[in-house]
Amino acid sequence: MEMLGMSAKMHDEARQGEAFAPVVSGGNQYQKKFYIESYGCQMNFSDSEIIASILHNNGFGATVIYQEADLVLLNTCSIREKAEQTVRKRLTEFRKLKGAKPGMLIGVLGCMAERLKAKLLEEEKLVDIVVGPDAYRSLPGLIGEAETGHKAVNVLLSREETYADISPVRLDSNGVTAFISIMRGCNNMCSFCVVPFTRGRERSRDAYSIIAEAKELFNSGYKEVTLLGQNVDSYYWIDEEKDEIITFAKLLEKVALVNDDLRVRFSTSHPKDITEDVLHTMNKYENICKHIHLPVQSGSTRILQLMNRTYTREWYKAKIDQIRNIIPECGISSDIIAGFCTEAEEDHKDTINIMEYSRYDMSYMFVYSERPGTLAAKRYKDDIGDDVKKKRLQEIVVLQGRLSQESNQRDIGKTFKVLIEGESKRSANDWMGRNTQNKVIVFPKHIPDSKKGDYVQVKVIDCTQATLLGEVI
């Protein structure tokens, strides 16, 4: 595995498709340079590492300075309208540059490429290349076509592609934590969601290649891997040699067994698919982190039905109970949408109320944004006014703030095993790391020879809404 330079760490919000972080690297043994910027979820950031690998093998080295690039790539997100607007704005900036540097190629990759296809070439006149999430292997060929002045598009979705054999080039890495993509696509049809259309059918990656990647990461000094998928709990792969079905619980166990010192996380869990088996496997291995991202979306059974989430409010609450019973110390976080079609004040209260019940440590919170082509766009009217959506979101945000504060306060006085990820952003005298529940802990660099990638015992002495403050013991 190749290591490249660093840049801004991925912003947490970026996972959800709003912000972006330039992805970076160095190296001057290449004839041509590419620049890539990633938007959207962790899957997209992980794809950029595959793209970087494909480009490296074809004579392109990465640069952080887009002005000096021969090829500028945007790996885009379509999850909400705002995410697409951000990309369009960025394209306008690149277009100006291209005016002065006509040989430069601009490529749009990822979910927006898939959603808009060749339309992007018409709408954004100076885009040369459009490539969907399952077509990255064709990128070198498409670049060749674009170099000869042809517009190049490949947005074919695949039922098989998992890029299992491509060793990602780690971009923007802290050298301690890394993502491993275990599946692609999504077969759920949540009515608000564009992902099934941009990412295609669900398929699971060869378990051996996942374990090999985890081992390789551990051998290069990494201490934590996050297994990624839109719905990890529906991972399903058949080991034909051993005639064995590998479920997510089994995969989790296999990755946990790579090494006791390699932490394992996973995201995202659809509440309907996380099994008791997974919960028991989490309990069985100390190095499987006790944190579940369990997006509720809404607390109202009626709205959940319209969203096609396939569970009721009561069922979700029972799932929370089950998690708390089996893994009492488990951290739980969520995604919440305010103002979905027909949402009444009563439905909103149900959301507020299920948040209180679930006591989330943190949540990603959004107002509903209608996406063309989705079931909700076809069937229901986006009938909640912006003001009402924003007011409800605000109430949700305020409540989550209180819940996070309370959750952090409950940790004061407790001691946690923390993996040091790097220096605190605020002070060079402090380390920043996470506990098993995925909470961020900042603490002074007391121990003289403590370093990035070490596990240390930290006692929590204070907190803010977002961070625990501790001291090493």
Q: Which stretch binds ligand F3S (CB under 6 A): 24-32, 41-49, 281-289, 447-455?
A: 41-49
Find out whether the peptide bond into 268 is cis, omega within 30 degrees of 0: yes
| Contact assessment for residue 183 and residue 15, using Cβ atoms and an 8 Å cutoff | no
| Site membership for ligand SAH, residue 460 (CB under 6 A) | no
| Residue whose C-beta lies closest to ligand F3S | 40
| Contact assessment for residue 293 and residue 267, using Cβ atoms and an 8 Å cutoff | yes
The interface mask with ligand SAH, positions 214-233, x = CB under 6 A, is ----------------xx--
Q: Which of 45, 360, 368, 431 binds ligand SAH (CB under 6 A)?
A: 368
Q: Which of 40, 299, 331, 470 binds ligand F3S (CB under 6 A)?
A: 40
Q: Which stretch binds ligand SAH (CB under 6 A): 319-327, 363-371, 409-417, 441-449?
A: 363-371
| Site membership for ligand SAH, residue 298 (CB under 6 A) | no
Report the nearest approach of ligand SF4 to the CB of residue 16 (Å).
Answer: 11
Q: Which of 4, 10, 14, 41 binds ligand F3S (CB under 6 A)?
A: 41
Site for ligand F3S in 64-83 (CB under 6 A): 77-79
Nearest in space to 471 (alpha carbons), one of 361, 403, 463: 463
The residue among 221 and 372 lying less far from ligand SAH, judged by its C-beta, is 372
Q: Which of 69, 72, 190, 279 binds ligand SF4 (CB under 6 A)?
A: 190
| Site membership for ligand SF4, residue 433 (CB under 6 A) | no
Q: Where are the alpha helices (DSSP H) in 203-361?
A: 207-219, 248-256, 276-284, 301-306, 313-326, 345-358
State the Cα–Cα distance between residues 159 and 139, nearest whole angstrom: 19
Residue 337: contacted member of ligand SF4, ligand F3S, ligand SAH, none (CB under 5 to 8 Å, by partner type): ligand SAH
| Site membership for ligand F3S, residue 169 (CB under 6 A) | no
| Contact assessment for residue 114 and residue 201, using Cβ atoms and an 8 Å cutoff | no
Burial track 309-334 (b if 16+ CB lie within 10 A, e otherwise): bebebeebbebbeebeeebeebbbbb
State the Cα–Cα distance between residues 451 and 428, nearest whole angstrom: 13
- The dihedral through the CA atoms of 406, 410, 413, 417 has a sign that is negative
The interface mask with ligand SF4, positions 210-239, x = CB under 6 A, is --------------------xx--------
Report the nearest approach of ligand F3S to the CB of residue 454 (Å).
Answer: 32
Phi-psi region of 265 (alpha: psi -120 to 50; beta: other; left: phi over 0): beta
State the Cα–Cα distance between residues 85 and 50, nearest whole angstrom: 25
Lookup result for tokens 């596990």: 455
State the Cα–Cα distance between residues 351 and 374, nearest whole angstrom: 23
Q: What does the binding site for ligand SAH look like in residue numbers (CB under 6 A)?
A: 16, 79-80, 192-193, 195, 230-231, 268, 270, 295, 297, 335, 337, 366, 368-369, 371
Q: What does the binding site for ligand SF4 look like in residue numbers (CB under 6 A)?
A: 186, 188, 190, 193, 195-196, 230-231, 270
